[in-house]
Amino acid sequence: MNKQRSVVHIHPLLWVTAGIAVFTGFFYDLLLLFLIVLLHELGHAAAALHFKWRIKKIELLPFGGVLETPEYGRRPLREEVIVAAAGPLVHLPLMLLSYLLLAASVWKQADHQLFMHYNLTLLCFNLLPVWPLDGGKILYCWFCSRVPYYFAQKIMWITSCLFLCGLMFLTLFLFPAHLQAWIIMLFFIVAHYTEWKQQPYSFFQFLLERTQQKHKKNMEPVLKIISMYERPLDVAKQIHKNKRAAFYIKENRQTLPESYILDTIINKRAGLVPLNDLLKKDKTDMYANRK
Ligand SMILES: [Zn+2]
């Protein structure tokens, strides 16, 4: 029989927080908060399913939720922006709904205020330009649309670190004793450290998937000027996520397609051999084949 595993996971830390909330009398507040977080994540999931993304799981944590999908970084920028924005967008109709429920006397002013407070906090918090929040993901897509993938990764990391430092200073001055704020900061510091370590692998993964992408033909072409003394791995740093590159070698006026560079790195494993050596070898091989 097929074992169907649930997509929505509840992190053990959330059960602990829920237990504490029962004892301290904040259970109703917590329930409301997690209902909003769940709807936020379902917003991302609905957009992801619309674009036929695979979803691994939706995990609910005490400070928010995470939609795990293997598709981030592989899909067109437009899809990635829409999926990232779909979560925060959910809060707008929810806030409108709260006004309607208040007007219809379904719930009291206190419920409305609490609901609005949670929605506004989650909306603003998730739109912060910090990785891996939704705002960070949208900003990353914007960088990817402006500069090559390799540099977009670096610029995003530095920008995110600067915003994180700003957030930490604000927390230090405004809420120095806010334990939950410091736990969230710690989560971000670990996420930034992991992301820095992960960057070379992510770049290689980007190149690997680039060789298999089918929608590349529809991309806008871009011509990059390179030197024949450069190595394919350095040349590949000029590949944009949303553009199909060709490389013009200034010394011999030859133009190489992006696929030549990718094939050299991925299939021939010669990413560190200077281009002039590779081209010389290609010529010798061609001559040998003719003979
Ligand atoms: Zn989100």
Selection from 40, 47, 56, 38 nearest residue 80 by Cα:
47
- CA 119 to ligand 1 center in whole angstroms: 12
Q: What percent of the chain has pLDDT over 70?
A: 90
The predicted model gives 195-201 an average pLDDT of 92
Dist CA 58 CA 40 (whole Å): 11
Q: What is the b/e burial string over 88-107, where b = at least 16 CB atoms within 10 angstroms of the residue's CB?
A: bbbbeebeeebeeebeeeee
- CA 37 to ligand 1 center in whole angstroms: 8
**What pLDDT does residue 2 have?**
43
* pLDDT band (50, 70, 90) for residue 5: low
- CA 125 to ligand 1 center in whole angstroms: 10
Residue 188 phi/psi, 5-degree rounding, is: -70, -40
Domain ranges of the chain: 1-127, 129-207, 215-290
- Which of the pair, 127 or 65, is modelled with greater confidence? 127
Instruction: State pTM to two decimals.
Output: 0.85
pLDDT at 119 over 70: yes
Residue 220 phi/psi, 5-degree rounding, is: -65, 130
pLDDT at 200 over 60: yes
Known catalytic residues are 41
Dist CA 93 CA 182 (whole Å): 31
